[in-house]
């Protein structure tokens, strides 16, 4: 597992080498806003309210779901972890795409979301899906168990990103991929809410993932994205 110190050094190295990234340096050393996940852990969480926010065409990652799925390049029979699955609409798409020979693990820290995902999967006849209650430090999946980890609008909620990334790295098979979708954080461009909500932007998050042992593959342009971006990484094969 990479320590926080080594991740910080990596981030600062990225920043010092490129002047346009200097705006991220202070944010890279911050933790997420206090209580950022309290609502999701609450037993009083109202899933219907989040369905109205998450599964609507006005949300970029919902409207662009076909392009995002194409970027994930899922093959039949693959095992996929949807980390921060929320209401589970991507989990359901993954389950259909990977087919009966594959499997989807819907990972979230919100028990209410997981209950909804399980009930919706049953109603839709989806049998190749398992819900997993994650923690602030782990996705709680066995080593070398999945081909793809998908994190959508969730990484900025990681309270212990180095530990969470270490658990993701362990869970991925060698050669397995990580797809990260999150919000841009550009002062003067990004909405003020996101500036206050996001502890850092794309370059810092990319540096953290690389520091955790992943190889960066590419950034995939999604035509309809205005506030989001999509990055792809790979767990290298053992040398």
Domain definitions of the chain by residue range: 4-234
How remote is the C-alpha of 223 from its chain's centroid? 20
Per-residue pLDDT, 77 = 98
Is residue 5 very low, low, confident or very high in pLDDT (cuts 50, 70, 90)? very low
Q: Which one is the CATH code of 4-234: 3.40.50.150, 3.40.430.10, 3.30.420.40, 2.130.10.10?
A: 3.40.50.150
The residue ranking higher by pLDDT, 154 or 35, is: 154
Using the predicted structure, report yes or no on whether residue 193 has a pLDDT greater than 50. Answer: yes
Using the predicted structure, report yes or no on whether residue 156 has a pLDDT greater than 60. Answer: yes
Per-residue pLDDT, 238 = 84
Per-residue pLDDT, 93 = 98
Per-residue pLDDT, 130 = 98
pLDDT tens for each residue of 112-145: 999 999 999 999 999 999 999 999 999 999 999 9
pTM score, whole prediction: 0.87
Per-residue pLDDT, 186 = 92
Per-residue pLDDT, 234 = 98
Is residue 239 very low, low, confident or very high in pLDDT (cuts 50, 70, 90)? confident
The overall average pLDDT reported for the chain is 89
- H, E, C per residue of the chain: CCCHHHHHHHHHHHHHHCHHHHHHHHHHCCCCCCCCCHHHHCCCCCHHHHHHHHCCCCCHHHHCHHHHHHHHCCCCCCEEEEECCCCCHHHHHHHHHHCCCCEEEEEECCHHHHHHHHHHHHHCCCCCEEEEECCCCCCCCCCCCEEEEEEECCHHHCCCHHHHHHHHHHHEEEEEEEEEEEECCCCCCCCHHHHHHCCCCHHHHHHHHHHCCCEEEEECCCCCCCCEEEEEEECCCCC
> What is each CA distance from 138 to 40, 129, 160, 169, 211, in whole angstroms?
16, 19, 9, 10, 17
pLDDT tens for each residue of 50-106: 999 999 999 999 999 999 999 999 999 999 999 999 999 999 999 999 999 999 999
The residue ranking higher by pLDDT, 68 or 16, is: 68
The residue ranking higher by pLDDT, 175 or 33, is: 175
Q: Which two tokens stand for residue 57?
A: 């065409």
Per-residue pLDDT, 19 = 32
pLDDT tens for each residue of 30-55: 678 888 999 999 999 999 999 999 99
Q: Which two tokens stand for residue 109?
A: 């820290």
% of the chain surpassing 70 pLDDT: 87
Per-residue pLDDT, 26 = 37
């Amino acid at each position: 597992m990479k320590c926080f110190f080594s991740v910080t050094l990596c981030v600062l190295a990225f920043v010092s080498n490129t002047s346009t990234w200097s705006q991220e340096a202070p944010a890279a050393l911050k933790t997420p806003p206090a209580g950022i996940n309290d609502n999701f852990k609450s037993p009083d969480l109202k899933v219907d309210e989040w369905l109205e926010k998450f599964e609507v065409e006005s949300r970029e990652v919902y409207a662009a779901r076909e392009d995002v799925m194409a970027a994930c390049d899922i093959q039949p029979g693959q095992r996929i972890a949807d980390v921060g699955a929320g209401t589970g609409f991507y989990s359901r798409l993954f389950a259909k795409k990977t087919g009966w020979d594959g499997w989807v693990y819907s990972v979230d820290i919100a028990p209410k979301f997981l209950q909804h995902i399980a009930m919706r999967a049953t109603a839709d006849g989806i049998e190749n899906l398992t819900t997993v209650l994650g923690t602030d430090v782990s996705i709680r999946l066995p080593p070398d168990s999945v081909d793809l980890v998908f994190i959508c609008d969730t990484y900025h909620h990681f309270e212990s990103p180095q530990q969470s990334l270490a658990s993701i790295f362990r869970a991925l098979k060698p050669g397995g991929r990580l797809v990260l979708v999150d919000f841009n954080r550009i002062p003067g461009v990004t909405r003020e809410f996101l500036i206050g909500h996001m502890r850092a932007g794309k370059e810092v998050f990319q540096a953290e993932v690389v520091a955790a042992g992943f190889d960066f593959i590419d950034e995939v342009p999604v035509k309809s994205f205005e506030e989001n971006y999509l990055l792809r990484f790979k767990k290298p094969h053992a040398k």
